[in-house]
Amino acid sequence: MHTSIYKYEDLKETVVKLLSSAGLEAKAAQVVSEILVEADLMGHTTHGINLMPAYVNELVSGGMRAQESLEIIQDSGSAVVWDGKYMSGIYLTYLAIQEALERSKELPVVTYSIRRAHHIGCLAAYMPMIVAQGRLGILAASDPSAQMVAPFGSKTPVYSPNPIAAGIPSGPHGPIIVDISTSVTAGGVVNRHRENGTPLPGKWLLDADGNPTDDPNATAGGRSGSMMPLGGLDAGYKGYALGVIIEALTSGLGGYGRRDKPDNWGTSVYLQIFNPEAFSGLAALEAEMDWLSEACRTAEPRPGYEEVRVPGDRALARKKQQLETGVEVTDAIMNKIRDLCVSAGIKTPKPKDE
User: 241 and 143 in one domain?
Assistant: yes
Both 206 and 163 in one domain: the answer is no
Residue % of the chain over a pLDDT of 90: 94
Residue 24's closest CA among 61, 56, 47?
Answer: 56
Domain-ending residue, one of 223, 251, 269: 223
In a domain, 341, yes or no: no
Burial class, 348, CB count within 10 angstroms (exposed 0-12 / middle 13-18 / buried 19+): middle
Domain region containing 214: 187-223
Using CA atoms, how far apart are residues 183 and 91, in angstroms rounded to an integer?
25
Question: pLDDT value at position 220?
Answer: 84
Query: Is 105 within a domain?
Result: yes
Q: Round to the nearest angstrom and report the end-to-end CA distance of the chain.
A: 20
130 class by beta-carbon count within 10 Å (0-12 exposed, 13-18 middle, 19+ buried): buried
| Separation between Cα atoms, residue 134 and residue 178, nearest integer Å | 16
Q: Indicate whether 76 and 166 sit together in one domain.
A: yes
Same domain flag for 278 and 213: no
Compute the distance between CA of residue 110 and CA of residue 96 in angstroms, rounded to an integer.
10
The answer on 93 and 219 residing in a single domain is no
Indicate whether 178 and 273 sit together in one domain.
Answer: yes
- Cα 297 → chain centroid: 25
Please tell me whether residues 162 and 26 are part of one structural domain: yes
The residue type found at 42 is M
C-alpha torsion angle, residues 280, 113, 180, 49 (rounded to 10): -120
Are 152 and 230 found together in one domain?
yes
Instruction: Tell me if 58 is assigned to some domain.
Output: yes
**295 within domain boundaries:** no
CA distance 213 to 222: 17
* Boundary residue ending a domain (223, 242, 272): 223
Tell me how crowded residue 297 is: count the other CB atoms within 10 A of its CB: 13
Regions of the chain with pLDDT less than 70: 222
The SS3 assignment for 107 reads coil
Confidence (pLDDT) at 171: 83
CATH number at residue 326: 3.30.1370.60
Q: Are both 207 and 228 inside the same structural domain? A: no
143 part of a folded domain: yes
Domains in the chain, number: 2
